[in-house]
Structures are given as structure tokens and as C-alpha cells.
Amino acid sequence: MKKEILNPNNKKIFFIILLSLLAIAERLWFNLGPNVELITLTTILSAIIFRRKSVIIVPLIILSLTDLNLKNTNIMIFTWSAFVLESLAFLPLLKKTKFLNKPIFKQILFSSFFGAGASLWFFLWTNLGFFLTEPWNLYPPTFKGLIACYVAGLPFLKPNLISNIFFLPLGIFVWNSLVKPSPSLSFDAKQKRVG
């Protein structure tokens, strides 16, 4: 039983479930502030840990469970797709940069840059979505109106940028320190016994 719990795959799944529950709880019960969120952290760490396109399910589950309660508007199409595209964009970056082969300090540094990029992407995409879907006609349907929408959204960029630059490297550190399988541990059933 203990061997089963220590299995690296179980630790990975447990870690992502724990992060997902924290992201859900943050959205529903202990809001850390406007546009401070843990979904980017959970999405990117899922991509790092599982390295499959199927990780897009992680932000979709978090968002579907929380948006039912938050009663999101049409902007949810842009919000949901922003997180999905973040995870899909990160997968080739993992491979191209050989992220997992880098020392932890380089992983933390790289994740800070990706956190900043993810925040900028989210800001640009969701503000475009707000401009296209908002029902109150706050902005004229012109290029000037789009720029006005982006300018009005700037106060929301700062907390998201700060939170992603902080939480993503912290998550990388925790993953490497506590959860990441040690190369010396092997639970491969084909492993030969010595002696």
C-alpha cells in the first residue's frame, strides 16, 4: 500500500488535484483579489507534469465548476479559451527550451517569463472578448473603442501579472522540491531484483 502511494504517477495526480482544488477554492471562497488567480499555475504545472495535450481538461474543469456559481457572461468563451491556449502554447515551449532538463533556478526564471507572457496573453485576449461581447455599448465598435477597452482594462493586468510572476515560480519550486520523482526512485514492474 505504501509503495502505491509513493508511486510517482500518484504523486503527480494528487498534486494537480490539490492545485485544482486550491484554484477552485480561490475563485469561490477566498478571493485573493481582482484577476489574481491560481488557474494559470495549475494549467502550466499540469502541462509540465503530464506533457500531453489532454491537460487542457484541467482549466476546463476548474472553470466549469466555478463559473456555474459565478454566473459568468459571454466573456467565458474568451476566458476559457485563453487558459486552454496557454497550456497548448506551453507544451511546445517545454520541448523547445528543454525546460525539464534545466536546473531549478533556470526553471523558476523561465516560469517567471512565461507567467508574464501568460498574463499579457490573457489580458489581450479577454479584453478583446469583452470589447466584442459586452452588451452595454461602453465602447464604440471602432479601433479607438478597442484601444479604450484595453486602457480601461489596464488596472486588472497588474494584479494578474504580479500573481503569475509570483505563483508560477513558487509552484515550480514546490514541484521540484516536494513532488517531482527522484531519478533514483523506480517503481517499474520490469525492474530486476538485485540479490
The average confidence (pLDDT) of the chain is 85
- Predicted structure pTM score: 0.81
Banded pLDDT at 3 (limits 50, 70, 90): low
pLDDT at residue number 39? 93
Banded pLDDT at 2 (limits 50, 70, 90): low
pLDDT at residue number 31? 85
In the predicted structure, residue 184 carries a pLDDT above the cut 70: no
Model pLDDT for residues 8-52, shown as the tens digit of each residue: 678 888 989 999 999 999 999 998 888 899 999 999 888 888 888
Model pLDDT for residues 44-83, shown as the tens digit of each residue: 888 888 888 888 899 999 999 998 888 877 888 999 999 9
pLDDT at residue number 194? 44
In the predicted structure, residue 1 carries a pLDDT above the cut 80: no
Model pLDDT for residues 87-118, shown as the tens digit of each residue: 888 888 888 888 888 888 999 999 999 999 99
Model pLDDT for residues 133-146, shown as the tens digit of each residue: 988 899 999 999 99
pLDDT at residue number 52? 81
Q: What is the rounded distance in angstroms from the CA atom of residue 49 to the CA atom of residue 43? A: 10
Q: How far is CA 165 from the centre of its chain?
A: 12
Residues counted in the chain? 195
Q: Where are the domains of the chain?
A: 2-179
Q: What is the rounded distance in angstroms from the CA atom of residue 96 to the CA atom of residue 138? A: 42
Pick from 19, 31, 8: which is nearest to 171 by CA?
19
